[in-house]
Each structure stands twice: as C-alpha cells, then as structure tokens.
Amino acid sequence: MRYINTVHANDDWTIDIIFDDGAERRFDVKPLLDCEAFEPLRNLDAFKTVRNRGYFVEWINEIDLSAETLYLDGMSLGANGV
C-alpha cells in the first residue's frame, strides 16, 4: 500500500504529493470537478483545504482520493518539476 508523506494544493487545481518511497506526483483534479461529488472543490479556497490522511487525501464533505489513485494517475515530478 502506498502512503502519503505530504500533499500540497496548487492554484491550478492540481495537488503535489510526496509518497513514503520518495516518489513525487502531480495529480490534476480539474477533470473531476464536473462530477457531482467533486463540485464543492470548484471553489479554490475549498480545494486548498486538502488534508493528508496517509492512505488518502480528503477535503470537505468527505471528498477523497486514494493514495493508489494519486500515484497511478498522477504525473511524475522530476528533480526540476514536471
């Protein structure tokens, strides 16, 4: 199981994640904002409330994404960014 060490919300509705194995990913949440469950995150202030829960990240209204989803569907970040 993947474990999240840190998560950071960006102004472009992406989140940067660092996993316990040192892997770094950027996950784009924008495509999910059209889904009813993710609609509250269209507000940037709400989006930026993301919290690290170890095996998943969580926002208001129990909106969450698993560490596996973030890892597998996220873009790898190299030493110089994307």
State residue 82's pLDDT score.
46
Mean pLDDT of the chain: 94
List pLDDT tens digits, range 30-70: 999 999 999 999 999 999 999 999 999 999 989 999 999 99
Whether pLDDT at 79 is above 60: no
Give the position of tokens 């996220």.
Answer: 74
| Domains of the chain, CATH where assigned | 4-76 (3.30.2020.10)
Which pairs count as long-range contacts for 53-57, CB under 8 Å and 24+ apart, including other chains?
53/4, 54/3, 54/4, 55/1, 55/2, 55/3, 55/4, 56/4, 57/4, 57/7, 57/15, 57/17
Whether pLDDT at 81 is above 80: no
Please state, as a whole number, how many other Cβ atoms lie within 10 Å of the Cβ of residue 9: 19
